[in-house]
Amino acid sequence: MADIDIRTTGRAGRITLTRTKALNALSYDMCMAIDTALRNWREDDSVDLIVMDAEGDKAFCAGGDIAELYETGKNGDYAYGQTFWRDEYRLNALIFEFPKPVVSFLQGFTMGGGVGIGCHGSHRIVGESSQIALPECGIGLVPDVGSSLMLALAPGRVGEYLGMTGHRMGPDDAIFAGFADHFIPMAQWSDLIELLEASGDASLLTTHAQTPPEGVLTGLQTKIDAHFDGERLQDILNSLKGSETDFATAALKLINRGSPLAMACCIEILHRLRTPSLTIQKALEHEFRFTSRAMEHGDFLEGIRAQIIDKDRTPRWRHPDQNVPIVEVSRMLQPMDAKALTF
């Protein structure tokens, strides 16, 4: 396939995203190719580990390919999007639970669907240019592809902050929040991949890990925890609006770009997931409840129109006053019975 290079090199199953002009955006066919390769390598004794990387300097993977999702949704075809998300989420779970090491090298932008394939493996490598983010609320979706698991497990209320604001995490922030494991300067990546291919030994990565440049989340956590611990969207907005600090002003500016319905549901999902029974399946199931309804009953199509199609950056959200009734959050996240996500 022109957009992805899948092969076996030495002891490694190799996946390289090659769709550089589209910032390696993930199409449905690319998802299915990765899924097939992983299932084959899982049973192949000649493959000791998986190495995932991407061509180009700008992005590992800037997200899912949403153009086709938009076109089908505008024509009233919601089934295509539901199939895309269903199969993508199954791939995310497969990576998370894979019995062999999965090593990903995350340069540049890793966002949305890129997080789903790049941040669930056992060894997640970031470098100087890495920027990991979940900007889904800005297009009317909740952070998905299993990212709600990591957001729920992030320190304090950092998960709510990242999900609502779309804050771009550099290497230190990504490691702090649980989206990456090791910072290794990018100049070493090529040689490291050759070592992994030859040895099949992922443990050698730890000897190359370095201390990343200092990020911002650690220093902001006290403020984040103070303002983002509300039960509902309105609680968090009231807390921020009642503060005259630079942090509150900056956070509100980012939040005001997002879909109120998506943000309210993001908060509710994280609260539901913070239990001892948290699993990747539970996270993906809650995400699917929302995304499968997002075209017909949410802000997704309007968010794509404003950000990607018309690019007027003025989405007409369903709740322009940012007051989202609890009943609407419950409706978007209610169980789906026969149509529920299964693994």
Residue 320 has pLDDT above 90, yes or no: yes
Quick check: 193 and 54 in contact, CB under 8 A? no
Spatial distance between the Cα atoms of 279 and 264, rounded to a whole number of angstroms: 22
182 and 240, same domain (yes or no): no
Quick check: 119 and 205 in contact, CB under 8 A? no
In a domain, 162, yes or no: no
Q: What is the pLDDT of residues 127-181, one digit of tens each?
A: 999 999 999 999 999 999 999 999 999 999 999 999 999 999 999 999 999 999 9
112 and 79, same domain (yes or no): yes
Quick check: 115 and 64 in contact, CB under 8 A? no
Q: Mean pLDDT over residues 112-130, rounded?
A: 98
pLDDT at 2: 86
Report the mean per-residue pLDDT for the chain.
97
Q: What is the pLDDT of residues 183-202, one digit of tens each?
A: 999 999 999 999 999 999 99
48 and 127, same domain (yes or no): yes
Q: What is the pLDDT of residues 55-90, one digit of tens each?
A: 999 999 999 888 888 999 999 999 999 999 999 999
Can you give the pTM of this predicted structure?
0.97
Residue 24 has pLDDT above 90, yes or no: yes
222 and 181, same domain (yes or no): no
124 and 189, same domain (yes or no): yes
112 and 43, same domain (yes or no): yes
In a domain, 141, yes or no: no
Give the pair of three-digit tokens for residue 276.
Answer: 């001892």
In a domain, 144, yes or no: no
In a domain, 263, yes or no: yes
CATH number, domain containing residue 63: 3.90.226.10
In a domain, 308, yes or no: yes
Q: What is the pLDDT of residues 223-236, one digit of tens each?
A: 999 999 999 999 99
Coil, strand or helix at 176: helix
201 and 281, same domain (yes or no): no
In a domain, 212, yes or no: no
86 and 57, same domain (yes or no): yes
Spatial distance between the Cα atoms of 332 and 305, rounded to a whole number of angstroms: 21
Q: Which amino acid is residue 164, in one-letter code?
A: M
The closest alpha carbon to 52, from 74, 29, 31, 28, belongs to: 31
Q: What is the pLDDT of residues 288-319, one digit of tens each?
A: 999 999 999 999 999 999 999 999 999 999 99
In a domain, 48, yes or no: yes
Q: Which domain holds residue 332?
A: 217-339
Q: What is the pLDDT of residues 30-39, one digit of tens each?
A: 999 999 999 9
CA dihedral 300, 305, 307, 313 (to 10 degrees): -110
265 and 289, same domain (yes or no): yes
Report the b/e string of 122-142 with b at 16+ CB within 10 A.
Answer: bbbbbbebbbbbbbbbbbbbb
172 and 235, same domain (yes or no): no
198 and 222, same domain (yes or no): no
Domain termination residue (choose one: 181, 207, 233): 207
Active site amino acids: 64, 113, 136, 144
In a domain, 149, yes or no: no
The backbone region for 342, taken as left when phi is positive above 0, alpha when psi lies in -120 to 50, beta otherwise, is beta
Domains contained in the chain, number? 2
Spatial distance between the Cα atoms of 233 and 318, rounded to a whole number of angstroms: 15
User: Do the strands 102-106 and 109-111 form a parallel or antiparallel pair, or are they unpaired?
Assistant: unpaired
Report the b/e string of 311-326 with b at 16+ CB within 10 A.
Answer: eeeebebbbeebebee
Quick check: 131 and 188 in contact, CB under 8 A? no
Domain termination residue (choose one: 207, 235, 268): 207
Domain termination residue (choose one: 185, 207, 229): 207
86 and 233, same domain (yes or no): no
